[in-house]
Structure 1
């Protein structure tokens, strides 16, 4: 239980002051309480007051420590959420009353934020079916940049830290109100988690040494991400404990992926992961993902088991422990799927639908040539490239990059779906050789479509990563010869129907 330390002032006076509409010019105030803070929402702003408590993972017990925590919260969150986090403001006492800012004795500190539309938080978007693939991909771009810019923290992380986290989760659930009823489920999970950790310990320690442990967000679930001015914006990063926030970057994204999977958003989870990996090229982290997904699900089980009314939430905790165990036991089967065709044939749309349904769990990692080309030139995926970026020698570099990344993906246990035109016999030969070298099955899918429909689709593209226009398509039509040894599927029907036909063909072609 947290210890309460009131310090220099009665917390009730600060709470009453911030709850009073008069403090905010008469604007109504909504109060939200969390385990460690009180948040006061006005029409345009939000004020976060930290509770004067001390636990085994944070210390807000003194005025000085609460000020430091407020300033640290501002610092770590403004890096990605500058639109939300404004400043740190003292609550002062003068002339017998409390005031926000100004001179006088400081009685406490608050983080002042710009209020955002809570209906645009990603968990709420997910609940009403508004969290689509483009949003998931945009979030992946934001998180990839956040991790790229995050400080490296080799003093944290590694196998010992992961082992300690598993022990903490296990001990906390075993002492929760629902402990007796969850014992068998918890024992089953722990008996799989620790051996999995032992097998991955050398990789965890190697990644710590090579810069993959960074000062991350630390609590990156969908409820801590909001759409602000059309941009996915993570907020409420952990500020109170550097060790908790300093993790392997794959553990940070595992919370997002797990949250999506739990909600049945496999397509979005697959798109988020594939886009993140395309930006970071951290394909070696894939072999850690099952363990990290499992740990994130176990944390959710702990939260459910620790609530005040455990009986009503016990099925929730049990389901989450079952999900955590399934993450560890599920086995993926590496294979290579190449999806080719002319511009406008629907490769990327169909790949997006097919990839999550390959194998179990997350499905196949998608490697898209259009995205790889943009990263090769150091520009955002939606930025157009000049014609020079499409010279044969440049395209060869793009395909080589795809094949290298696909090889890493296969070696770390995941199937891969390569989304590219594959117009030349050399490109098709090399992707087949990739599968042969890695001793995995190969399937080539060629999407066919009427030329007039291809032209219509290319003309109507909006906001797509591909730069190919009608001129490029006409060159393709004049030069290409479709491969006889690939499976041909018509894409003149709807994307869903095309994807179903592709999946049916793949089920009969593996090997």
Structure 2
């Protein structure tokens, strides 16, 4: 991990503070050093230049500290105490001492940790009354926030298009790793079409005065509740770039609504927007809500990608950032009217279904459920632990097979609701097992494809002989099991022809995967040219 600058190390000592806290904690963001010092917080800006912000000189850092205090006092007048100097005397540094400043800091009151909105969400303590406090604070805030020609320019089609296209250009390198190509193309196409077709709506929002100097970063990480005082603090607005803070009030509100959706609190998300519309009378924001939700979700996905790509970040943090990025992109896809795919790869043991399913998983970035792995997980068995029992016995009894398929269908439905494409990989040898999947998703908006894998007996026999040498393979399939399965297999006559693809799997898996992709491309309206 990168070593701290000498000045920052000095400021970790309690004697650096006029009130002498018992201990000092340091939190770093990519742009700030934040010192938690008892009941006070001091924040120093890092000397960085990311293009969209420039803190490279002491003069600029002082300016943006002052800007941060001025802007945040609009919503948190009691929290932002002012801008204070940092001075050095010998081997010690001090906040708020006489002398030549070597740095500047924002001084704040420390808000109650137990009231942080993110903590309330994580602990299941968020209530509608919390959202009521937010709405009552935001309605007058936006009504009083600055507007006029200098602010209105951020609500023009040119400004909106610039922000949206910037996201797309900055995430191109992550397509295929954090976001499937077909989803990227869909979101791009939908966003551009929306902007073009809703030109009159965007102009109307400017004319009606809904472009305001807002917050710019309105989500749970920047909201805190002081419950004994029945107060809410909405802090840390964007001070370093007017383009990110100014715009349609719908854009700010969409951020918090999207954040609640991300935390699977859709009822709270709807309630928040409904209450804001009711109190403000701004029904027009509903026409733009999904567009701005899509934009905000995409921004969060982009930030997650940047974190994942940062080598100095610990691996576990990078992995979580990538997982979160994919979830944000799932949301963006849903807001852009995208419909997730459920692809069921089935066939008898040895027909190559798992090889194809895994290749498609990697190509399409889907969630993937293999019956052997799910079965053993339900039993607390490691995937590579083999149970070579007779057909229909032991862990492969009819009863446990039903439990396994029920679990797979449930997992698939849960993921599809969140917007993720899913691949199920199992024999699905009986009609009732396939119908179980159909039943699980019958009320969901989903595109469905069954891919049946078949192969000649001699090929399958050779595959089993080869598989016997691979101890890490989760499947317990064997030639004798295949023969039994073949006797009882029920043809998929209940699957509509347009939702069934039969593949002879003697060709290379790359060719087979491309056949499936081509089939999907024919079903999706937006272009999938990158899926090659």
TM-score relative to the length of structure 1: 0.60
Structure 1, unpaired ranges of 5+ = 1-9, 332-359, 362-511
Q: Which moved more, 1:72-81 or 1:148-157?
A: 148-157
Find the counterpart in structure 2 of residue 15 from structure 1: 8
Structure 2, unpaired ranges of 5+ = 309-314, 340-416, 419-532
| Deviations, residues 183-219 of structure 1 (Å, cap 9, x unaligned) | 3322221121111121122211231233211110000
C-alpha separation in 2, matches of 1:178 and 1:15: 39
C-alpha separation in 1, matches of 2:120 and 2:319: 29
C-alpha separation in 1, matches of 2:306 and 2:90: 44
Written as runs of structure 1 = structure 2, the 5 A alignment for 1:48-447 is 48-94=43-89, 97-152=92-147, 153-176=151-174, 179=177, 182-228=180-226, 229-308=229-308, 313-329=321-337
C-alpha separation in 1, matches of 2:79 and 2:9: 24
SS at match of 1:109: strand
| Deviations, residues 201-258 of structure 1 (Å, cap 9, x unaligned) | 2211231233211110000011100013321210000011111110100001001111
Instruction: Tell which structure's C-alpha radius of gyration is larger.
Output: 2
Aligned length: 324
Q: CA deviation at 1:36?
A: 0.4
Find the counterpart in structure 2 of residue 35 from structure 1: 30
C-alpha separation in 2, matches of 1:97 and 1:320: 44
Give yes or no for contact 1:182–1:318 (8 Å, CA) kept in 2.
Answer: no
C-alpha separation in 2, matches of 1:157 and 1:257: 20
C-alpha separation in 2, matches of 1:167 and 1:51: 28
TM-score relative to the length of structure 2: 0.58
SS at match of 1:154: helix
Q: CA deviation at 1:157?
A: 2.1
Q: CA deviation at 1:43?
A: 1.3
Give yes or no for contact 1:137–1:272 (8 Å, CA) kept in 2.
Answer: yes
C-alpha separation in 1, matches of 2:127 and 2:100: 50
C-alpha separation in 1, matches of 2:178 and 2:277: 41
SS at match of 1:113: strand
Give yes or no for contact 1:176–1:306 (8 Å, CA) kept in 2.
Answer: no
Judged with a 3 Å threshold, the aligned counterparts in structure 2 of structure 1 residues 107 and 181 are, in CA distance, closer, same or farther, namely same
Judged with a 3 Å threshold, the aligned counterparts in structure 2 of structure 1 residues 62 and 119 are, in CA distance, closer, same or farther, namely same
Judged with a 3 Å threshold, the aligned counterparts in structure 2 of structure 1 residues 66 and 76 are, in CA distance, closer, same or farther, namely same
Q: Which moved more, 1:245-254 or 1:172-181?
A: 172-181
| Deviations, residues 106-126 of structure 1 (Å, cap 9, x unaligned) | 101000111112221111111
Judged with a 3 Å threshold, the aligned counterparts in structure 2 of structure 1 residues 63 and 325 are, in CA distance, closer, same or farther, namely same
Cα RMSD between the aligned structures?
2.4
